C-alpha cells in the first residue's frame, strides 16, 4: 500500500450499499463466533485458578491464591480484576460471570477487528483502467475473510470461553487496531478548529492509555504496546503533547508495577517464574507451531489471503500534514505505518511463542499472533470493473472472488476438523486438546462449574480425605486415584485443627472445590514459590517442567517427618535434609518476601530485591541444596 501522488484526488469507496453489506458481514461473523464459542463452552482447570484469587478478593483476603501468602498466580492482571468486578457487582456465581464476560469480549473482538479494517480499507483510492484515473463511482463490497479463518480454527472457539484471558487479549488487540487506524487516517486538517483540536488530543490520550494497558492484559503484549507507543510518541506533535502521551500510557502500568514489586516481591507474575518465560525451547516451539498449522492446513488460507491482500489493495487517501514536519515523522502517522506495525507485532508475537516452546494446550499461545496477523485482511474488498473493457479490473475481481470462495470453503472444513484425534491423551509432545481432555476425564461435555470437576479422578477422594481428618494435615496424591496420603501435623493439635494443605498439580479444580481455609499448592510452582524457584527440567513436559519433591513441603509446613506417618515412598533422611536446606539465608529471605507480614520496610525491601528474587534458583535435591548454600550437613539415619 503506497501513498497517492500529491495531485491525486481523494476518493472513498463507502456507499450505502457498501456499508449495508459490510454491516451484514459483521453481524454474521460475530454471531458465528458467538455460536461456535457457546457450542464449545467450558472453563479449563487453569481458568478456575483465576477464580480462586477472585474468591479471596471477595472475601477480603487480597489478590492472593492462599490467604497469608502473597503470590500472584494469574498471568493477566486486568482479567483477574475484571472478573472480580463482575462478580462483586452481579453477586452471581463466578463461573457464570466468567462465561458471560468471555462471550461478550470474544464476540466484540471480531466486530471491532472488522470495523478497524473497514475504516482503513474503505479510504483506499480505487484506480481505474488508466494509471492516473481514479474511479469515483466504483462499486465495492467488503466481505468477511480473515475473521472467518480465525473463527474456523477450533482452538479459537475453545479458548473463547475457557476462563483464561484469551478473550480479553483479542479484544484488547482488536480495539488497539481500531484506535490506531482512526489515529492514522484522521486528517490533521480537520483539527484546525479549536473544538476538533481538543477532540483529537482526547482521542490521542485515550489511545495512549489503551496501548499502555497491554502488559497488564498479558505480559508479552508489551510487544504491541511498545511498538504502538513508539509510533505515537515519535509522530508529529508538540512536546507537551508527548509528555501527556507518556503520562497517560504509563500511569496505570507503572503504578501497578511498583505495587506488584512491593506486594509480591517480583517484577512479573509468579507464573513467569514457574514457567521460566525467558527461557528458550525452539524445537518444542516449532513442534507446537506445526501442531496448529498442520492439522487444519492453516497455511493455505494464510497464503491465499496474502495474495488477496495484494490484488485488492488500492491506494490510501492522502493525509494532509504540515509541510514543516519531517518525512520520517509524517510516515509514522499513516495507514502504511499502521499496517507495518500490526504485521511486525504479529510476527514478533509468533517468534516469542515459538521461542519459549509454545504451550501444552493445543494452539492456545499462538492465537494472539494469528489474530494479529489476520487483522489487515479481516475483511476482503472486492471492486467491480469500471467497464467491460477494464481487463485489469475483471482480473482483480476474479482473483479476489476466488480467494474469498476458497477461504470460505476451507473455513467450513477446518471448523469441522479434529485437529488432535488423540488430543485427550498426553503424548510425547506434551500437547493436548485441553477441552477434549477435561470433557473426557470429567464425563461432562461442557465442564463449567467447579463442581463438574468433582468427577475428575481424585477430586471426590480429596474432599472425603479432608472431611475425615479434622486435625488437619498435608494431602499428597497417591498412586491410587481413590485415596490421598495424609501427613499429620505435630502434636499438640490446636483447637479446631491445624488446617489442611493440598499438594497437587491441578490447582484450579482443587482450590475451587475446597474452602478458602484450605491451602492449595503445586509441585510446579504456580502457587508455591518454593517450587517455582527451582531449576527448569530440561526434558520436562512444556508448561510443567518443574517438579518439587514433597519432602520440601513436609519440611516447610512442619509436618511429622518420620515413619509410619510419612507415606512409604518418602525418605526420612530427605525430609531431614530439606529442613536444613530451607535454613539457607537467601531462601529464608525469599520466603519472607511473600509470607512475612507486609510492613513498610518489607515493601521497600521487596521493591529493591525483586529482580534478585525473580532470578533466584535453588536445587530441588535437598542434599545438593545444602552443598550449594554451604550449610552444615545433618546427621542422617543412614549414617548411623
Radius of gyration of the chain (CA): 28
Is there a domain that residue 181 lies in?
A: yes
Strands across the sheet containing 519-521: 484-487, 473-477, 500-503, 519-521
Is 449 domain-assigned?
no
Residue 507 lies in a domain: no
142 contacts 121 by C-beta, under 8 angstroms: yes
- Which CA distances in Å does 527 have to 275, 502, 505, 513, 550? 12, 11, 10, 16, 15
pLDDT value, residue 314: 56
Give the pLDDT confidence of 485-512 residue by residue, as tens digits. 999 999 999 998 999 999 999 999 999 9
**pLDDT digits over 163-211, tens only?**
999 999 999 999 999 999 999 987 544 444 455 666 788 899 999 999 9
Which is more confident, 339 or 640? Answer: 339
**Residue 4 pLDDT greater than 90, yes or no:** no
pLDDT, tens digit (0-9, with 9 covering 90-100), for 274-323: 988 888 889 999 999 999 999 999 999 999 998 888 877 755 444 444 44
Quick one: average pLDDT of 90-94? 95
Task: Give per-residue pLDDT as tens, 442-451.
Answer: 999 999 999 9
Cell numbers representing residue 494 in the block: 490446636
Rounded CA gap, 613 and 55, in Å?
27
> Which CA distances in Å does 518 have to 129, 472, 510?
74, 9, 10
- CA–CA gap between residue 226 and residue 543 (Å, rounded): 26
Give φ, ψ of 477 to 5 degrees: -70, 130
Indicate the DSSP class of residue 136: T
Domain boundary among 416, 444, 476: 416
Residue 5 lies in a domain: no
Give the pLDDT band (50/70/90) at residue 638: low
- For the chain, the distance separating the N- and C-terminal CA atoms, rounded to the nearest angstrom, is 80
Could you tell me the pLDDT band of residue 138, with boundaries at 50, 70 and 90? low
- In whole angstroms, what is the distance from residue 457 CA to residue 178 CA? 45
Asked whether residue 604 is assigned to any structural domain, the reply reads yes
Going by C-alpha positions, the residue among 316, 355, 259 that lies closest to residue 120 is 316
Average pLDDT over residues 221-241: 93
- Reported residue count of the chain is 640
- Paired with 487 in beta bridges are 474
Lowest mean pLDDT among 102-111, 292-301, 396-405: 396-405
Is residue 441 packed enough to be buried (19+ CB in 10 Å), middle (13-18) or exposed (0-12)? middle
Q: Where are the alpha helices (DSSP H) in 71-142?
A: 77-90, 94-121
Asked if residue 309 is part of any domain, the answer here is yes
pLDDT over 50 at 324, yes or no? no
Residue 475's H or E segment, with its range, is strand 473-477
Q: DSSP states of 508-551 as a string? A: HHHHHTS-TTSEEE-SSSSS-HHHHTBPPPTTSPTT------HH
Which is it for strands 500-503 and 473-477: parallel, antiparallel or unpaired?
A: parallel
Q: The C-alpha cell of 390 is what?
A: 477494464
| Cα separation, 348 vs 328, whole angstroms | 23
The C-alpha atoms of residue 4 and residue 92 are separated, in whole angstroms, by 55
* DSSP conformational letter for 317: P
Domain count, the chain: 2
Compute CA distances 396 → 309, 314, 336, 400, 548, whole Å: 11, 11, 21, 6, 61
The residue out of 390, 416, 442 marking a domain boundary is 416
Please give the DSSP secondary-structure letter assigned to residue 187. -
Give the separation between CA 510 and CA 508, rounded to whole angstroms.
5
What pLDDT is attached to residue 628? 95
Is 549:534 a contact under the CB 8 Å cutoff? no
Helix, coil or strand: residue 563: coil
Q: Are 429 and 446 in contact (CB under 8 A)?
A: no
The pLDDT tens digits for 461-486 are: 999 999 999 999 999 999 888 889 99
pLDDT attached to residue 327: 65
Task: Determine the pLDDT at residue 548.
Answer: 95
* For residues 579-598, average pLDDT: 96
Percent of the chain with pLDDT over 90: 75
Last residue of a domain, one of 368, 389, 416: 416
- The 3-state DSSP class for residue 422 equals coil
- Assigned domain for 628 exists: yes
521 assigned to some structural domain = no
Task: Give the DSSP per-residue string, 45-81.
Answer: HHHHHHHHHHHHHHTTS-S-SBTTB-----S-HHHHH
Using CA atoms, how far apart are residues 343 and 17, in angstroms rounded to an integer?
30
pLDDT of the residue at 145: 95
pLDDT of res. 319: 44
The average confidence (pLDDT) of the chain is 89
pLDDT surpasses 60 at 13: no
Q: 340-392: per-residue pLDDT in tens?
A: 999 999 999 999 999 999 999 999 999 999 999 999 999 999 888 877 777 87
Domain of residue 624 covers: 549-639
Rounded to an integer, the average pLDDT of 529-538 is 92
Amino acid at each position: 500500500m503506497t501513498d497517492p501522488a500529491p495531485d491525486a484526488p481523494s476518493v472513498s469507496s463507502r456507499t450505502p450499499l457498501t456499508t449495508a453489506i459490510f454491516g451484514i458481514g459483521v453481524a454474521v461473523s460475530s454471531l458465528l463466533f458467538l455460536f461456535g464459542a457457546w457450542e464449545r463452552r467450558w472453563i479449563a482447570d487453569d481458568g478456575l485458578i483465576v477464580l480462586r484469587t477472585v474468591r479471596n478478593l471477595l472475601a477480603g483476603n487480597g489478590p492472593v491464591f492462599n490467604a497469608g501468602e502473597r503470590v500472584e498466580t494469574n498471568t493477566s492482571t486486568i482479567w483477574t480484576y475484571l472478573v472480580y468486578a463482575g462478580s462483586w457487582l452481579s453477586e452471581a456465581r463466578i463461573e457464570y460471570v466468567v462465561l458471560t464476560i468471555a462471550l461478550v469480549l470474544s464476540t466484540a473482538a471480531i466486530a471491532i477487528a472488522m470495523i478497524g479494517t473497514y475504516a482503513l480499507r474503505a479510504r483506499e483510492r480505487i484506480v481505474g483502467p488508466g494509471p492516473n484515473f481514479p474511479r469515483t463511482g466504483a462499486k465495492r463490497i467488503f466481505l468477511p475473510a480473515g475473521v472467518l479463518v480465525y473463527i474456523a480454527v477450533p482452538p479459537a472457539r475453545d479458548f473463547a470461553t475457557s476462563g483464561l484471558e484469551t478473550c480479553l487479549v483479542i479484544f484488547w488487540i482488536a480495539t488497539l487496531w481500531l484506535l490506531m487506524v482512526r489515529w492514522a487516517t484522521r486528517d490533521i486538517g480537520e483539527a484546525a478548529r479549536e473544538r476538533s483540536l481538543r477532540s483529537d488530543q482526547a482521542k490521542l490520550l485515550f489511545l495512549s492509555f489503551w496501548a499502555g494497558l497491554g502488559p497488564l492484559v498479558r505480559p508479552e503484549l508489551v510487544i504491541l504496546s511498545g511498538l504502538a507507543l513508539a509510533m505515537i510518541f515519535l509522530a508529529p506533535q508538540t512536546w507537551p503533547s508527548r509528555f501527556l502521551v507518556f503520562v497517560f500510557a504509563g500511569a496505570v502500568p507503572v503504578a501497578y508495577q511498583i505495587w506488584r514489586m512491593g506486594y509480591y516481591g517480583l517484577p512479573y507474575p509468579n507464573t513467569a517464574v514457574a514457567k521460566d518465560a525467558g527461557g528458550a525451547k525452539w524445537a518444542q516451539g516449532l513442534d507446537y507451531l506445526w501442531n496448529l498449522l498442520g492439522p487444519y492446513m492453516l497455511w493455505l488460507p494464510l497464503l491465499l489471503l496474502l495474495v488477496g491482500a495484494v490484488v485488492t489493495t488500492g491506494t490510501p487517501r492522502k493525509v494532509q500534514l504540515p509541510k514543516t514536519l519531517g518525512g520520517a515523522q509524517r510516515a509514522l502517522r499513516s495507514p502504511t505505518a499502521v499496517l507495518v506495525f500490526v504485521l511486525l507485532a504479529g510476527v514478533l508475537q509468533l517468534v516469542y511463542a515459538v521461542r519459549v516452546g509454545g504451550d501444552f494446550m493445543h494452539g492456545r499461545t499462538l492465537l494472539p499472533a494469528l489474530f494479529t496477523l489476520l487483522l489487515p485482511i479481516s475483511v476482503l474488498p472486492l471492486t467491480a470493473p469500471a467497464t467491460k473493457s477494464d481487463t485489469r479490473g475483471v482480473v482483480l475481481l476474479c482473483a479476489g472472488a476466488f480467494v474469498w470462495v476458497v477461504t470460505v470453503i476451507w473455513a467450513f472444513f477446518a471448523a469441522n476438523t479434529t485437529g488432535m484425534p488423540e488430543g485427550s491423551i498426553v503424548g510425547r509432545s506434551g500437547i493436548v486438546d485441553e477441552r477434549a481432555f477435561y470433557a473426557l476425564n470429567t464425563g461432562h461435555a461442557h465442564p463449567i462449574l467447579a463442581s463438574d470437576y468433582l468427577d475428575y479422578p481424585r477430586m471426590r477422594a480429596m474432599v472425603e480425605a479432608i472431611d475425615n481428618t479434622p486435625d488437619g494435615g498435608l494431602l499428597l496424591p497417591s498412586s491410587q486415584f481413590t485415596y490421598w496420603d495424609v501427613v499429620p501435623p505435630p502434636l499438640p493439635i490446636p483447637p479446631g485443627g491445624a488446617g489442611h494443605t493440598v499438594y497437587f498439580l491441578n490447582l484450579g479444580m482443587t482450590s475451587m472445590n475446597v474452602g478458602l481455609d484450605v491451602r492449595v499448592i503445586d509441585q510446579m510452582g504456580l502457587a508455591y514459590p518454593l517450587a517455582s524457584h527451582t531449576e527448569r527440567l530440561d526434558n520436562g513436559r512444556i508448561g510443567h517442567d518443574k517438579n518439587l519433591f514433597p519432602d520440601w513441603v513436609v519440611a516447610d509446613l512442619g509436618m511429622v517427618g518420620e515413619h509410619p506417618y510419612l507415606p512409604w515412598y518418602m525418605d526420612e533422611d530427605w525430609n531431614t535434609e530439606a529442613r536444613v536446606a530451607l535454613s539457607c539465608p537467601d531462601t529464608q529471605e525469599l520466603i519472607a518476601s511473600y509470607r512475612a507480614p507486609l510492613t513498610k520496610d518489607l515493601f521497600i525491601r521487596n521493591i529493591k530485591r525483586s529482580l534478585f528474587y525473580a532470578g533466584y534458583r535453588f536445587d530441588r535435591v535437598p542434599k545438593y541444596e545444602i552443598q550449594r548454600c554451604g550449610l552444615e550437613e545433618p546427621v542422617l539415619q543412614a549414617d548411623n
